[in-house]
Amino acid sequence: MLRYFLQRFLMTLPALWLVLTLVFLMIHIVPGDPVEQMLGEGAAPGELAQLRHSLGLDLSLPAQYGHYLSQLAHGDLGHSLKFQAPVRRIIFERYPATLQLAFLALLVCAAIAVPAGVLAAHRRGTGADRAVGVFTLLGLAIPNFALGPLLILLFSIELGLLPVSGRSGPAYYILPAATLGAALAAILTRMVRGSMLEELSSDYVRTARAKGLSTGAVLFRHAFRNALIPIITILGLQFGTLLAGTIVTETIFSWPGIGRLTVQAISSRDYPLLQGCILVIAVSYVVVNLLTDLLYTLIDPRVRLS
């Protein structure tokens, strides 16, 4: 187990290095002078020179890269121009809100997709299977930026059941989590259905049915357990997608998370803060994929042996 973990961890190091490098190069890829974009065209030459020096942009590119890696090694992500505070502190204040929303959205996704996918596979070709297919088609066709306002119009404005925006209590989590989870549930439902169909046609399932096991035991104790590997893969990828995809949803619902913080950094041209937000989201995606690989070994020991 430890050897497998070390192998997977070492495989993530090149990906992490590539992420760090791309985030560093982001400020140099921006067209024009990023310092002028931060301060505006009417800024005095002295202000431009001072900000350029504070960001280290007056050094050579290799020197800037070395300074950037040195700062990261000490946990320094720079200083926000908009909030006049360390980027690390700002992100750590907002990141828990995004994690909570992503976890809840993933629970919503799994709560919808797993029963629907198992039902569609068990009732293949029936009306239930076709109904699940229509649901997945609608989920894939309606994007977050359209589903969110629709839910606000229905449950907040028309029915008055749920709050529109903010994060002041449990009720505030429902609409954002449903917006994120419902869209991803369509993808996961199809994956669950396909994996279950493959397992239900296996010899060991026919043997279990011949022994007289109940339908629930055949579906969940045998078929679903062996179908978990591709399902866990999709869930891991979707969780990483949730961390990045919350940008639109957090903006719609005024959610105080890292997604909305990224939009604020873009609108205010706060490049140090934008670099920090993108870095945290990208590193989170890599870490989630590493944890997904480790979860494989708990579900199927054959992965570890291979």
Considering the domain architecture, whether residues 121 and 241 belong to the same structural domain is answered as: yes
- Whether 14 is in a domain gets the answer no
**Same domain, yes or no, for 42 and 99?**
no
Q: What is the DSSP string of 249-299?
A: HHHHTT--SHHHHHHHHHHTT-HHHHHHHHHHHHHHHHHHHHHHHHHHHHH
Which residues partner with 79 through β-bridges?
86
pTM above 0.85, yes or no: no
pLDDT per position as a tens digit, 224-239? 777 777 777 777 777 7
Q: Do 42 and 142 belong to one domain?
A: no
- Give domain status of residue 84, yes or no: no
| Distance separating alpha carbons of residues 306 and 301, to the nearest angstrom | 9
Whether residue 149 is found in the same domain as residue 172: yes
The verdict on 95 and 71 lying in the same domain is no
First to last CA, the chain: 12
pLDDT in tens, 192-229: 888 888 888 877 777 877 877 777 777 777 777 777 77
Does one domain contain both 212 and 288? yes
Task: Classify residue 50: in a domain, yes or no.
Answer: yes
The reply to whether 2 falls in a domain is: no
The verdict on 167 and 205 lying in the same domain is yes
Q: What mean pLDDT value characterizes the chain?
A: 81
Domain-embedded: residue 249: yes
* Confidence label for 245 from pLDDT (cuts 50, 70 and 90): low
Would you state the pLDDT for residue 64?
81
- Same structural domain, 63 and 102: no
d(CA 205, CA 198): 10
One domain, residues 48 and 145 = no
CA dihedral 242, 244, 247, 250 (to 10 degrees): 30
Domain range holding 254? 91-305
Report pLDDT digits (tens) over 40-67.
Answer: 666 777 777 877 777 777 778 788 888 8
pLDDT tens across 72-104, in order?
A: 888 888 888 778 888 889 998 888 888 888 889
| Mean pLDDT confidence for 165-190 | 85
Please report whether residue 152 resides in a domain.
Answer: yes
Domain count, the chain: 2
In this structure, what CATH number is given to the domain that contains residue 139? 1.10.3720.10
pLDDT tens-digit map of 282-298: 888 888 877 877 776 67
Residues 195 and 268 in one domain: yes
State the greatest distance between any 2 C-alpha atoms of the chain, in Å, as a whole number. 84
Residue 239 counted as domain residue: yes
Residues 47 and 196 in one domain: no
189 and 271 share one domain: yes
